[in-house]
Amino acid sequence: MEKVLILLIAVILDAVFGEPPEKIHPTVWFGKIVELVDRRYERSSCSADLIVGACLTLAVCLLAILIVYVAERLYLDFYLLFASISIRSMVEHAKKTIKNGKIVRDEVQKIVSRDVSKLNDGQLSSAVIESIAENFVDGVFAPLFYYTLFGTYGALVYRAVNTCDAMIGYRTGRYRCFGRFCARLDDALNFIPARLSALLFILLKPKAIKTVVKYRKIKLNGGYPISAMAGVLGVTLMKPGHYEVKAGRTPSIGDVERAIKVYIKLCAIAVIFYTLMNLPLESIMYLPNLGFISGIELCSTPIR
C-alpha cells in the first residue's frame, strides 16, 4: 500500500502545485548539468562526442539514483515522484497558447521544438495538440510505468534520460553524435509505454485504432500518441515537410481545448490504472467492482 500512497500523494501535489520550485526541482538540476557540459565541451570527433555524451547521460542517471537513495531515507519518495510527473503544468502551458480566441505563436514555440515562425493557425494548433499527446507519454504514462516496475528509482531515472534527450537528443548539427546515446536510450525507454498508452486513447474512442494502425510509424514512439490523439479528435495533425496524420479536418483552437480535455481524462485513467497495478494482489480482489467500473465510465465519457 505504500507505493499506492506515494503515487496518490504525488498526483495530488501535482494537481495543487503543478511543479516544484526550480531550486529544489531534480529535473531542473539535471538540465543545468547538461547545459553546463554542453556549453563547455568543445566538439571533437564523432566518437569522442559520442563517448562524452554517453558519460554525461549516465552521470545524470547516477545522480538521479543518488537523489532517490537519500530521499528514501528521509521519507521523501513522494516528492520525487511528484517531480517526475507533469500533468497540471502541461494543461497550463497548453492553455497559454490560446488568448482572446487566437493561437499565440510565441507560446506555442515554448512547448514545441519545431520552428513555428511560418506556420499558419491550423499548423500551430496541430503543434500544440501533438505536444499534448506526446507529453501524456513523457510526463505521465511512462514515469508511472517505470515507477510501477522499479519504484521511485525508475521514475526519476526515466526523467533524467528524458531531460537529457530534450536538451541534446537531436540528430543534426552539433548534437548529431553528442546526443546520440541519450536519444537512443530515450527511444528504448519509451518503446513500451508509447505503445501501451495508445490503448487508453482507444478506450476513449475505439474507432481511433484505425488511425493508430495507419499512422503509428510516422515516428518511432511519438507516432502512437499523436495518431491516437488525431483519431480521438477526428482532426488532421501535421508537421510540414515531415508527416501528416489524416483523421479529419484541419484542427482549430477549439480542438486544442478539446485535446486538453482528452489529456485530463487520459491522466485520470492512467492514475486509476497504475493505482490498481501498485495495489497488493489481495487488495485488488476486494475492490468494489461497481465503484471501479463507474470510475472508468466517467473517464470514458465521449469527447464533444
d(CA 232, CA 68): 37
pLDDT in tens, the chain (304 residues): 899 999 999 999 999 999 999 999 999 999 999 999 999 999 999 999 999 999 999 999 999 999 999 999 999 999 999 999 999 999 999 999 999 999 999 999 999 989 999 999 999 999 999 999 999 999 999 999 999 999 999 999 999 999 999 999 998 889 999 999 999 999 999 999 999 999 999 999 999 999 999 999 999 999 999 999 999 999 999 999 999 999 999 999 999 999 999 999 999 999 999 999 999 866 666 655 555 445 555 555 555 5
d(CA 259, CA 119): 19
pLDDT for res 299? 53
pLDDT for res 48? 97
The pTM assigned to this predicted structure is 0.91
251: left (phi over 0), alpha (psi -120 to 50) or beta: beta
d(CA 76, CA 209): 40
Query: What sign does the CA torsion over 174, 177, 181, 185 have?
Result: positive
> Residue for cell digits 480535455?
261
d(CA 194, CA 207): 18
Closest of 77, 70, 76, 95 to residue 18, by C-alpha: 95
Give me the residues paired with residue 98 across strands. Answer: 103
Q: What is the DSSP letter of 76?
A: -
Contact criterion met (CB below 8 Å) for 197 and 61: no
Contact criterion met (CB below 8 Å) for 156 and 84: yes
Helices (H), 205-288: 208-215, 223-233, 253-278, 281-284
Query: For residue 66, what is its C-alpha cell?
Result: 543518488
User: Structural domain boundaries of the chain?
Assistant: 2-299
Q: What is the DSSP letter of 302?
A: P
d(CA 158, CA 189): 7
What 3-state class would DSSP assign to 102?
strand
pLDDT for res 172? 86
d(CA 284, CA 276): 7
Closest of 167, 99, 92, 164 to residue 131, by C-alpha: 92
pLDDT for res 258? 98
Q: How far is CA 112 from CA 97, 129, 134, 194, in A?
A: 11, 10, 11, 18
Helices (H), 97-221: 105-109, 121-136, 142-168, 180-204, 208-215
